Structure 1
Amino acid sequence: MKILFLGDVMGRAGRRAVSERLKKLREEWRLDFVVVNAENATSGAGLTAAHAKAILEAGADVITLGDHAFDQREMLTFCEQEKRIIRPLNFAKGAPGSGARIFKDARGRQILVTQVLGNVFMKRAFDDPFSAVDQVLRANPLGGNAQAILVDVHCEATSEKMALGRWCDGRASVVVGTHTHVPTGDAMILGKGTAYLTDAGMCGDYNSVIGMEAEEPMRRFVTGMVKGRFTPANGEATLSGLYVETDDRTGLATRVEMVRIGGRLQDARP
């Protein structure tokens, strides 16, 4: 199975890059399944129903969220209606929507998509991500009812992402990090066969401070004072993510490549 994961879509620039490029990539790379993290797609904070629909129409099969999952209040109800949206597995027991679900590609192969939030350096303590994802993986053994499994680990700390990657090694096809908006260079296949990347980066304008116009973040760092709101940068965006090929029999990864297309980062693609 050929899988593409795209990192955090950041504001209008990120949405524009996905809308303009994703369908062409699906055709050129003959992709079987595409997962897009879009928790920052609406003004850099959350996701509206309209923007979710646009990303799905652009070629995403599934959208994952994150700690900003419900910053846009309409997502509280929309994620119940639109089953292709996955919120964090360990967000809260009473949270709407689902943190894990099995989908099918065009050939009928089943892929499980799930997401967990980290605890280290996050603004609030979430339920234990290790036990949360363990429960899902035990109930859905790789190569059984799921030909592939993708785990989005939405964490601040690189060490926590790495630990979760190894916790899932051999039990998931792909473990890919999101949240920091900064792409890492450590794409690899772990010892037991899971494709791994600490952070996929963002689909957004990198002439910025993690996707925001630089003036206000810099003012806060330099002076410690708040003057205005953060505003998403709106220059040419880079599509950042991870490309993975898996074996249909075992579900394990056979190839992994970082993806960087357009914008200011040096291109990297399969």
Structure 2
Amino acid sequence: MSNIIRVLALGDVIGHRSVEGIKQNLGAIKKAKMIDFVIANGENSSYNSLGISRKNYEDLIGAGVDVITSGNHIWKNKETFEFIDKVDRLIRPLNYIPSLPGNGKVVIEVKGVKVCVINLIGSTFMDAPFISPFFVIQQELNNLPEDVKVVIVDFHAEATAEKVAMGWFLDGRVSLVFGTHTHVQTADEKILPNGTGYITDIGMCGFTRSVIGDEVERSLKRFLLGVPERLSPSEEGNFQMNGIIVDINAETGKAVRIERISYEFQVY
């Protein structure tokens, strides 16, 4: 058994057509890149890009995603309240108040190795009922079983500084910290001094003729007229898959390689 676990993390999936794009293309990517484990942020995968439905969940898992993370839009689809406690591969931010349904972490066995995925939400410019992500993750890691060496954190946050700070805070304590939420992929992927892979934001899975995934014309109206405009996920242009591929040593839990990826496809 190889002691390397190769992880593919995909940015926020925008709308149901992007779910279709993943269904059509993820399998080939997994095969070509020899991927062992896939994480995708699914909080925007609903038809209106707000929340996730049971069908979105089942489609993403069926396409080859192993764990679906989320963020501040997780509760925008009321259906989520009905099924989040009935499925085992969808997590919401761990630092939400405990009375909310769902779990903030999941442990999956990959190649005989326990892999823990933790979801956090940022505290800056985010309208959510949260507890400090730094406090919560420290508590969680202190209580993590010793046999869990591979720990991956999706930090769903707005502020770049908060994401960078979290990377340094967790360096050497987790295998990988990647940011989500802004839908714009950053070019700062690195392995920190104590072995934690890091990137500020992995981007999105959405269409290229868009404003961070939403229709261009509707988005422009918001800026030009200064009035509320209901956003709608774009389906124009090529389908773009942003993310990272990270190799993690299963014995040490340290990242040994990180690669930023961006693919474009046509969706039929």
- TM-score band by shorter chain is over 0.9
Question: How do 1:130-149 residues align onto structure 2 when only pairs under 5 Å count?
Answer: 130-140=134-144, 144-149=146-151
- Indicate the residue corresponding to 1:232 in structure 2: 233
Distance in 1, Cα, partners of 2:152 & 2:242: 17
Distance in 1 between residues matched to 2:205 and 2:260, nearest whole Å: 13
User: Which TM-score applies when normalising by structure 2?
Assistant: 0.93
**Paired AA for residue 264 in structure 2:** G
Match of 2:204 in 1: 202
Determine if contact 2:7/2:36 at 8 Å carries over to the other structure. yes
Q: How does 1:71-220 map to 2 (within 5 A)?
A: 71-105=76-110, 107-124=111-128, 126-140=130-144, 144-220=146-222
> Equivalents in 1 of 2:261, 2:195: separation in Å?
20
How many angstroms does 1:263 deviate by?
A: 5.2
C-alpha deviation, 1:123, in angstroms? 2.4
Distance between the aligned counterparts of 1:206 and 1:145, measured in 2?
42
CA contact (8 A) 2:53 2:77 kept: yes
Q: CA RMSD in A?
A: 1.4
Cα shift at 1:41: 0.4
Task: Work out whether residues 16 and 56 of structure 2, in 8 Å CA contact, stay in contact via their aligned partners in 1.
Answer: no
Give, in whole Å, the separation in 1 of the partners of 2:149 and 2:126. 32
**1:203-233 C-alpha deviation (Å, 9 max, x unpaired):** 001321111101122112122123x421110
Shift of 1:125: 5.4
- Alpha-carbon deviations, 1:98-132, whole Å to 9, x = none? 00121111x22110001110011112452100011
- Check conservation: 1:205, 1:263, Cα contact below 8 A: no
By how many angstroms is 1:138 displaced?
Answer: 1.6
Distance 2:130 2:79 in 1: 22
* Letter of the structure 1 residue corresponding to residue 137 of structure 2: V
2:68 aligned partner: 63
8 Å Cα contact 1:119-1:125 kept in structure 2: no
Is 1:40 paired with 2:40? no
- Gapped runs of 5+ residues in structure 1? 265-270
The TM-score normalised by the length of structure 1 is: 0.93
Q: What is the CA–CA distance in structure 2 between the aligned matches of 1:74 and 1:120, rounded to whole Å?
A: 27
CA contact (8 A) 1:246 1:255 kept: yes
Kindly provide the amino acid, as one letter, of the partner of residue 76 in structure 2.
D
- Between the aligned partners of 1:172 and 1:184, the Cα distance in structure 2 is 20
CA contact (8 A) 2:202 2:242 kept: yes
Structure 2 SS opposite 1:204: strand
CA distance in 2, matches of 1:154, 1:259: 19
Give 1:140 shift. 2.0
Contact kept in structure 2, 1:118 and 1:153, CA below 8 Å: yes
In the other structure, the counterpart of 1:267 is none
Q: Structure 1: which amino acid aligns with 2:232?
A: T
CA distance in 1, matches of 2:252, 2:183: 31
Where in structure 2 are there 5+ consecutive unaligned residues? none
Aligned equivalents of 1:145, 1:195: Cα separation in 2: 20
Contact 2:96 2:129 in 1 (8 A): no
| Identical counterparts, % of pairs | 37
> Contact 2:97–2:129 at 8 Å: present in 1 too?
no
Question: What's the counterpart of residue 51 of structure 1?
Answer: 56
Alpha-carbon contact 2:72-2:128 (below 8 Å) kept = no
